[in-house]
Structure 1
Amino acid sequence: MKTVNPTSDAIAQVIKNTPKDQPVVMLNLLKFREQAAYEDGREGGSGWAAYKEYGRGALPCLQAVGAELVWSGAPTGTLIGPQGEQWDEVLLVRYPSLDAFMSMIGSDDYKAIVHHRTAAMEDSRLVPMLAD
């Protein structure tokens, strides 16, 4: 099943299961559309280009809550996973806490740029993990 944005049920479950006072690393698995698909119908180039636009705006949002990009890279395949499942980009982003992540996605600055991510994504996963 392809997914792009979190549901309110998924957010509620993560909030319930994640300690508030511990760092969280978000595993991002990203598959880009060939062509960006903006809800207002405007042309946006490739999904990759739309995601780069999102990234330019997201970086200050990350920094504002004390988060940092830990690692990013392009996978070369999948050794364990559904046949044919391929991701274009993998990111690890470390947040000081789940509250910091929630604060970021609720900010006006983030809300102003997240449409680029939605337009860019064909499929994605966002997995919060407790950091050591």
Structure 2
Amino acid sequence: MSIDELNIEGLTALDRDDPGPVVMVNLLRFNERSADGDGTGWDAYLRYSAQKVALIKEHGGMLLWNGNAKGIALGRSEHAPWDYVSLVYYPTVAGFIAMMRSPEYLSQCEPHRRNACADHLIICTREAFSKFHIPVK
């Protein structure tokens, strides 16, 4: 999974048809060893995170929650279980796209993400209900 798989067309249409905040649900499965040989996949993810959090903030976003995936509670998965889940708020889809396509992300973050992850799925969500509603600025 490379940055080339970013669904620009679908995300842009979503923002055009229904503008507003989104939460990106990240499902990650780590390599046992970092693809560049520098530690584990988790080590590479920590390098990725150290760079990415500042970029998220620069694009108006915020990290809401991170956690270890402990197992599937309902349903079947044809793939190995996910290792980690991260929820990231962005005020607009455009902010997310701008962050993902920024020169800083592509040069500083993306190499660590590729080294860290055996698989990485990002699901774009819009709030339907939340006890923790984040007001639109």
2:58 — aligned with what?
A: 64
Superposition map of 1:24-103 within 5 A: 24-38=22-36, 43-79=37-73, 80-83=75-78, 85-103=80-98
In structure 2, what residue type is equivalent to 1:75?
Answer: A
Identity %: 30
**Counterpart residue identity of residue 13, structure 2:** K
For this pair of structures, how many residues does the alignment match?
A: 125
C-alpha displacement at 1:125, in angstroms?
Answer: 0.8
Match of 1:127 in 2: 123
Read off the aligned partner of 2:112 and give its amino acid letter: H
Deviation of 1:76 after TM superposition, in Å, equals: 1.3
Task: Tell me the CA shift for residue 81 of structure 1.
Answer: 3.1
CA distance in 1, matches of 2:79, 2:101: 34
Q: Secondary structure at the match of 2:32?
A: coil
Instruction: Tell me how far apart the structure 2 counterparts of residues 73 and 37 of structure 1 sit (CA, whole Å).
Output: 23
In structure 2, how many angstroms separate the alpha carbons of the residues matched to 1:52 and 1:28? 15
- Secondary structure in 2 matching 1:112: helix
| Contact 1:26–1:128 (CA under 8 A) maintained in structure 2 | yes
For the residue of structure 1 that corresponds to 2:65, the secondary structure is strand
Q: CA deviation at 1:123?
A: 0.9
Q: CA, structure 1 residues 64+83, in 2 after alignment: closer, same or farther (shift >3 Å)?
A: same
Separation (CA, whole Å) in 2 of partners of 1:86 and 1:25: 22
TM-score in terms of structure 2 length: 0.82
Task: In structure 1, give the amino acid aligned to 2:45.
Answer: Y
Instruction: Please tell me the root mean square deviation across aligned C-alpha atoms, in Å.
Output: 1.8
Give 2:80's aligned amino acid: E
Aligned pair partner of 1:112 in 96, 107, 112: 107
Unpaired segments of 5 or more residues in structure 2? Answer: 129-137
> Structure 1 stretches of 5 or more lacking a match?
none
Amino acid at match of 1:93: V
Q: CA deviation at 1:109?
A: 1.5
